[in-house]
Structure 1
Amino acid sequence: MTLTAKNKFVFVDGSLLRPNSDDLLFGAWIRCNSMVISWILNDVSRDIADSLLFITTASEIWTDLRNRFHESNAPRIFQIKKLLNGLQQGSMDANSYYTKLRILWDELKDFQPVSVCNCGSIKEWMTYQDQECVMLFLMGLNDSYAQIRAQILMTEPTPTISMLFSLVLQEERQRSIHKNMLDNGVDLSSVAAQSSHIAVVRSFQNNRGGRNGYPNDKNFGDRPLCSGCHYPGHTVDKCFKIHGYPPGHPRYK
């Protein structure tokens, strides 16, 4: 990528031949060739660099290195597939697990041949490939995600791997919020009940309703909400259900 970005890859693939010594570009070619050679020598180990010192062109060095270290793709493909089949989320969070899976999957796809097709079947092949990645992601998820995994498997069409990761990430964040609330001693059932009563209060405020014993008062939504019984109209220090009903009240015992 560096060679391409600096417009110097032509010196290693041999497409820019060495000009004649009387050519006006000869001096520029020599300088650029020497610069690329220095980049390569600085990027390899000292032992390898010593064996390349007497090669005069960058393209010859590049060819020599490729002939030395070129390997078949089969061992790496086997290794990637083995890692993918054994990949589990375990103690990793959703983001780390997804990133590790995508790195292996994208490298595996890079080894696959790409055919030129004008019949539209290449789109079906890409869709199938994406579904395969989705299945690998779901198989490696922890059992705590069994519910959301079942929901995704029943979804038609199957969501893409990016959409799937977004759903799992939202689920992980929601669990983190609940865990923090439990760690801080917050009663989730109390919070849910209070939220439900607040929603009822706001609904009556908007509808100006007088049903279910609630007064038809335009300022009803501004009334205090008891944190004990979760009903509006009083505070916890004056709650009859907690402190008892006063004499003369129909429910006084």
Structure 2
Amino acid sequence: MVRGGGGAIANNNNNPVQMNQINRTSTEDSSSPFFLQNGDHPGLILVPNRLTTSNYNTWSRAMVMALTAKNKLGFVDGTIPHPLPDDLLYGAWTRCNSMVTSWILNSVVRDIADSLMYKTTCREVWVDLRDRFVQSNAPRIYQFKKFLSGLHQGSMDISAYYTKLKTLWDELKDYQPTSTCQCGSMREWMTYHNQDCVMQFLMGLNDSYAQVRAQVLMIYPLLSISKVFSLVIQEERQRSIHSDVLK
């Protein structure tokens, strides 16, 4: 600290007052990844479905969204590296690392959590889970295709049946490469993909929906899957109303 000619006090970069202020700003600013909210605690569970041995893909997507919302994704993806012990933010980083590690352990089943207890950073935990449970695309694509081919409405209502299909479609899409190309070929592929979804949805409907199925197939160009779902669920609701009137 030096005093200028006008009596003003100037702090150099090594002044403890200025360094403490930087540290407080980093941990008290709500936009900082080192900021912890009042509701953040080690027992917090970020996602409803814990990681097992077969749901890594959906679990990791849910965790990425949750950690992004908490502004803590950088601790697991490596963009917020481990600081040296003499770094001003070492203490804040250590607290956040322990917090995120606890959140991850709370979000996996007990057997998996026990095998991760001696990892020192949440980044190590994240990478271990990825290396252990990520699967090659081919077996998972085969599984999804097999589920889709055998899925029928059965005792499900239209909404539950469509939701099950949509979940499988979305998971399958996540395993398949996508293109950012906006050329005609990409539009043709999107049209084909929509047609494939419509056909799968219609084929799995119960025979009682044969008439509405035939009506949809007569429409040209083929409607989007969301519009087809809307038409079929309207038919279901009309039948429900008619059934209530007859009672």
Asked if these proteins are the same fold (TM beyond 0.5), I'd say yes
**What is the percentage of aligned positions where both structures have the same residue?**
68
Q: Which structure 1 residue ranges, 5 or more long, are not aligned?
A: 184-253
Task: Tell me if structure 1 keeps the 8 A contact 2:137–2:176.
Answer: no
Q: 1:137 aligns with which of 201, 206, 209?
A: 201
- Which residue does the alignment assign to 1:48? 112
Which amino acid is 1:26 matched to? Y
Question: In 2, Cα distance between the equivalents of 1:55 and 1:171?
Answer: 55
Which amino acid is 2:98 matched to? S
Residues 82, 59 of structure 1: alpha-carbon distance in 2 compared, 3 angstrom cutoff: same
Please identify, of 64-73 and 44-53, the stretch whose mean Cα deviation from structure 2 is larger. Answer: 44-53
Q: 1:110 aligns with which of 156, 169, 174?
A: 174
| Alignment of 1:176 onto 2:246 | no
SS in structure 1 of the partner of residue 166 of structure 2: helix
Deviations along 1:116-150, one digit per CA (max 9) or x if unpaired, are: 31424222211211111000011111112112211
| Alignment of 1:126 onto 2:190 | yes
Deviations along 1:77-124, one digit per CA (max 9) or x if unpaired, are: 212111111111122211111111111111111211012314242222
Q: 1:31 aligns with which of 89, 95, 99?
A: 95
Aligned residues, how many?
183
What is the TM-score with the length of structure 1 in the denominator?
Answer: 0.67
Q: CA deviation at 1:24?
A: 1.3
Which amino acid is 1:123 matched to? R
Please identify, of 11-20 and 133-142, the stretch whose mean Cα deviation from structure 2 is larger. Answer: 11-20
Q: 1:159 aligns with which of 208, 213, 223?
A: 223
Residues 45, 136 of structure 1: alpha-carbon distance in 2 compared, 3 angstrom cutoff: closer
Residues 46, 109 of structure 1: alpha-carbon distance in 2 compared, 3 angstrom cutoff: closer
Question: In 2, Cα distance between the equivalents of 1:88 and 1:32?
Answer: 46
Q: Alignment RMSD, CA only?
A: 1.7
Alignment of 1:1-253 (within 5 A): 1-183=65-247
SS in structure 2 of the partner of residue 108 of structure 1: helix
Report 1 or 2 for greater relative contact order, CA contacts < 8 Å, sequence distance ≥ 6.
2
Question: In 2, Cα distance between the equivalents of 1:31 and 1:141?
Answer: 53
Which amino acid is 2:203 matched to? M
Q: Following TM superposition, where does structure 1 have runs of at least 4 consecutive aligned residues deviating by more than 6 angstroms? A: none
Task: Tell me if structure 1 keeps the 8 A contact 2:75–2:122.
Answer: yes
What is the TM-score with the length of structure 2 in the denominator?
Answer: 0.69
Residues 50, 82 of structure 1: alpha-carbon distance in 2 compared, 3 angstrom cutoff: closer
Q: Which structure 2 residue ranges, 5 or more long, are not aligned?
A: 1-64
Which amino acid is 1:41 matched to? L
SS in structure 2 of the partner of residue 15 of structure 1: coil
SS in structure 1 of the partner of residue 77 of structure 2: coil
Which amino acid is 1:53 matched to? M
Question: In 2, Cα distance between the equivalents of 1:3 and 1:161?
Answer: 32
